[in-house]
Amino acid sequence: MELLPLWLCLGFHFLTVDWRNRSGTATAASQGGCKLVGGAADCRGQSLASVPSSLPPHARMLILDANPLRTLWNHSLQPYPLLESLSLHSCHLERISRGAFQEQGHLRSLVLGDNCLSENYKETAAALHALPGLRRLDLSGNSLTEDMAALMLRNLSSLRSVSLAGNTIMRLDDSVFEGLERLRELDLQRNYIFEIEGGAFDGLTELRHLSLAFNNLPCIVDFGLTQLRVLNVSYNVLEWFLAAGGEAAFELETLDLSHNQLLFFPLLPQRSKLRTLLLRDNNMGFYRDLYNTSSPREMVAQFLLVDGNVTNITTVSLWEEFSSSDLADLRFLDMSQNQFQYLPDGFLRKMPSLSHLNLNRNCLMTLHIREHEPPGALTELDLSHNQLSELHLAPGLASCLGSLRSFNLSSNQLLGVPPGLFANARNITALDMSHNQISLCPLPAASDRVGPPSCVDFRNMASLRSLSLEGCGLGALPDCPFRGTSLTYLDLSSNWGVLNGSLAPLQDVAPTLQVLSLRNMGLHSSFMALDFSGFGNLRDLDLSGNCLTTFPRFGGSLALETLDLRRNSLTALPQKAVSQQLSRGLRTIYLSQNPYDCCGVDGWEALRHGQTVADWAMVTCNLSSKIIRVTELPGGVPRDCKWERLDLGLLYLVLILPSCLTLLVACTVIVLTFKKPLLQVIKSRCHWSSVY
């Protein structure tokens, strides 16, 4: 049984007509809620229960989307005999009368998507047969089966573009598209198609774009639609894709097999014009190393194809499935999110025109860089999120990666790179080595060292503009690590202690840097050299996740626009520093998740009114052992803060004076109360004689 899946996100467009008045300018008006522009009437979303009859009779385009019409009657479109484009999307249509299009001989584009046409599909089909000149028809989202669709498309031989997306089609045979010899675009995505009989598309000799994405096709064997240019079978359950053998020339330019369950690299046509191949999110791998290569005859699979009374057997090699494919014109290859552990010798050599290669999220352990592998035309290479521990560079290669502009090696297990690898990449502008446990080569860089790579040297990479080294476990940066570069983007985040208390290692790139990320690096305000005055072109600075207790220093003609100070130890923001930043054009600042003192937020008023603090609603402060939002603070100075601002000596005096006065009064009362008895006792014991 032959299965042929196909997809394309068809960019259907309305037939655009530029109707103008006699003066040559487009007119715009409004009538009954409809917008009139030249020969187009836009009545979408007006809660109309019927087609308005008072629009200009010369209208060429009528848009009635999102109106509860429910029924299109025979007389509904009679006032507009010159219509060329009609859109009835989401109109709750359940019935289209047989004569609804009887007088619409000029109609070229008809949109009936997201309605309920399956209710009276026979009557709708009869109405459509009155449109011999129709070129574009959208029947998506109508719960149509294959039999309903075949009936509606019958005798519409003028069609160029058809959308049957979002219906309930399950199986296709040669009767569904019979008589559509001029059809060029077909959208069948988001159905339930699990089987396509052989010959279902054979009559579509002009077909160029096909879409069968989001269906249930299990495999494609003996694919032979040579006239197709764009084919998409993404989001199915494909395990195999095998093109027909032979020397037939295919016009195929774009093939999307992503988000399936492919086990092997697809067997592509031997002659094609393929430029884009998308294989993302499958289960593919190369398996030669797992089998006995001395017995190549055992490395084959045979497919039994049953078509009626005819039975064919197709034999393919599973371990060199790419060897016979024509990939000479391939420009873009996406093999990400698969299970590739290695690339066979000669695999990339078959793609001399390849410019973009994506291999991220695989299981690659090593990569061998040889002559023409990767090809010299490659400009973008993504090897991130693999298990790479080594890059092998063939000796004597002077121009490898010469055209490469973007190189992503992040989230691997690299300790270094081969000496001279980046020196030959003379056009590279973006390099990402984040989350590799690398170290930077000290001065002088040992470019002639031998043995396994143990460090990375970025010096004298004149073309480099963007460098990411986040989470690389870097120690203190060596002297002049970026000399000879003109970096505009640098990310050193999550490398604790890498600056060793000074910005001196960045002095070579300070004049050119525009974006600098130093988050989670253990920076604290005791760094006396944490001064960004020399970064004259800096636009974006990220200092979040550090231990700063004071605002960083800036000076000169700083052009800073975005500053992130979240998750630090700031208790206050100096008013002088804030005013300086505002005067220099600071647009966005992040200040939340700091232990601010509510008594020190007076200087933020200018920031709040200038809408500079992006996370103002999340900024909190401490007031009398309570954490409250700054936005909830009362106007003026809080009562608890007024006591804190008094002189301490005066405060102590105020507290002690009442106690002293109380003690003095108590002593006086006691003395006065017991004065006479006390004197008598003393006299009797001391035998003092009375003066009397």
Q: Which has more pLDDT, 548 or 324?
A: 548
Alpha-carbon span 319 to 185, nearest angstrom: 35
CB neighbourhood size of 113 (10 A): 21
pLDDT of residue 657: 80
> What's the maximum distance between 2 C-alpha atoms anywhere in the chain?
156
Which pLDDT band holds residue 419 (cuts at 50, 70, 90)?
confident
Under the banding of pLDDT at 50, 70 and 90, the label for residue 402 is: confident
pLDDT at site 8: 31
Name the residue with higher pLDDT: 403 or 648: 403
487 φ, ψ (degrees, to nearest 5): -60, 135
pLDDT of residue 453: 67
Angle between helices 146-153 and 121-128 (to 10 degrees): 30
Sign of the Cα torsion 224, 228, 234, 236 reads: negative
Chain centre distance of CA 205: 38
> For residues 592 and 588, what is the distance between their CA atoms, to the nearest angstrom?
13
Q: What's the rounded Cα separation, in Å, for the pair 73 and 613?
A: 59
DSSP structure class, residue 456: B
- SS3 label, residue 486: coil
Calpha distance 358→334 (Å, rounded):
5
3-state SS, 237-250, equals CCCCEEECCCCCCC
Q: Which helix (H) or strand (E) holds 153?
A: helix 146-153
The secondary structure of 361-380 as a DSSP string is SS---EEEEBTTBS-TT--E
Taking alpha carbons only, the member of 527, 25, 322 closest to residue 506 is: 527
Q: What is the mean pLDDT of residues 571-591?
A: 71
Distance set, CA 137 to CA 39, 76, 111 (Å): 21, 19, 6
What digits encode the pLDDT tens for the residues 608-652?
A: 665 578 888 898 888 877 888 888 876 655 666 755 554 556 656
Q: What is the dihedral of CA 530, 534, 540, 545, to 10 degrees?
A: -10
pLDDT at 614: 87
Tell me the pLDDT band of 25, cut-offs 50, 70 and 90: very low
Show the tokens assigned to 149: 């669709």
Angle at which helices 648-673 and 675-686 pack, to 10 degrees? Answer: 60
Task: Find which of 405-414, 573-582, 604-613, 679-688 is predicted with most confidence, using mean pLDDT.
Answer: 405-414
Query: Where do we find the tokens 């999340």?
Result: 618
- pLDDT of the residue at 345: 85
CA distance 47 to 386: 55
- How far CA 429 is from CA of 356, 417, 596, in Å, comes to 15, 17, 41
Q: For residue 374, is the peptide bond before it cis, meaning its omega torsion is within 30 degrees of 0?
A: yes
* Alpha carbon 502 to chain centroid, angstroms: 35
Reported as type and span, the H/E element at residue 210 is strand 209-211
Q: For position 650, what pLDDT does the model report?
A: 63
- Identify the pLDDT of residue 330: 96
Read off the pLDDT of residues 332-388 as tens digits, 9 standing for 90 and up.
999 999 999 999 888 999 999 999 999 999 999 999 888 888 888 999 999 999 999
Residue 665: Cβ within 10 Å count:
10
Listed residue (3, 502, 463) closest to 223, CA to CA: 3
Taking the C-alpha atoms of residue 629 and residue 635, their distance in angstroms, rounded to an integer, is 13
- What H or E segment, with its residue span, contains residue 428? none
Confidence at residue 354, expressed as pLDDT on a 0 to 100 scale: 95
Interval 116-136 mean pLDDT: 95
Mean pLDDT rounded to a whole number for the chain: 83
What is the pairing mode between strands 40-42 and 34-37? antiparallel
Strands 489-491 and 588-590: unpaired
Task: Give the three-class secondary structure for 651.
Answer: helix
pLDDT digits (tens, 9 = 90+) for 140-173: 999 999 999 999 999 999 999 999 999 999 999 9
Q: What is the dihedral of CA 606, 612, 616, 617, to 10 degrees?
A: 110
pLDDT at 553: 80
Q: What percent of the chain has pLDDT over 90?
A: 54
Q: Identify whether the C-beta of residue 187 lies closer than 8 Å to the C-beta of residue 212.
A: no
Nearest Cα to Cα of residue 74 among 58, 55, 96 = 96
Which one is predicted more confidently, 605 or 417?
417
Would the pLDDT of 498 be above 60?
yes
Question: Strand 109-111 and strand 136-138: pairing?
Answer: parallel
d(CA 420, CA 459): 11
The torsion angles phi and psi of 240, rounded to 5 degrees, stand at -140, 145
pLDDT value for 19: 36
Instruction: Give me the residue label for tokens 């001989």.
Output: 105
Helix (H, G, I), strand (E, B) or coil at 458: coil
pLDDT at 121: 95
Q: How far from 656 is each of 640, 650, 660, 669, CA to CA, in Å?
A: 20, 10, 6, 21
Would you say residue 188 has pLDDT above 50?
yes
- Residues 220-271 have pLDDT tens digits of 988 999 999 999 999 999 999 999 877 889 999 999 999 999 998 999 998 9
As to burial, measured by CB atoms within 10 angstroms (0-12 exposed, 13-18 middle, 19+ buried), residue 85 is buried
Is the pLDDT reported for residue 9 higher than 50?
no
Closest of 160, 150, 271, 276 to residue 209, by C-alpha: 160
Distance, CA of 42 to CA of 12 (rounded, Å): 18
The span from the CA of 177 to the CA of 179, in Å, is: 6
- 400 pLDDT above the threshold of 80: no
Q: Which residue has the higher pLDDT, 513 or 38?
A: 513
Three-state SS at 490: strand
317 has pLDDT over 60: no
d(CA 506, CA 513): 9
Contacts with 450 (C-beta within 8 Å, 6 or more apart), sequence order:
none
Rounded Cα distance between 216 and 233, Å, is 10
Q: Which DSSP string corresponds to 321-374?
A: TTTTS--TT--EEE--SS------TTTGGG-TT--EEE--SS---EEEEBTTBS
Residues 6+ apart with CB under 8 A from 209: 8, 10, 184, 185, 186, 228, 229, 230
pLDDT value at residue 557:
66
Please provide the size of the chain in residues: 692
Q: Which residues of 577-595 are buried (b: 16+ CB within 10 A; e: fewer)?
A: ebeebeeeebeebbbbbbe
Q: What is the pLDDT of residue 339?
A: 95
What is the C-alpha to C-alpha distance for residues 489 and 515, in angstroms, rounded to an integer?
A: 5
Q: Under 8 Å CB-to-CB from 640, ≥6 apart: which residues? A: 599, 623, 624
Residue 631 gets which letter from DSSP? G
For residue 415, pLDDT over 70 is answered with yes
Render pLDDT for 208-234 as a digit per residue (tens, 0 to 9): 999 999 999 999 988 999 999 999 999
Do the Cβ atoms of 261 and 237 come closer than 8 Å? Answer: yes
- Output 38 or 398, whichever has higher pLDDT: 38
Percent of the chain with pLDDT over 70: 78
- 531-548: average pLDDT: 90
Residue 13 has a pLDDT of 35
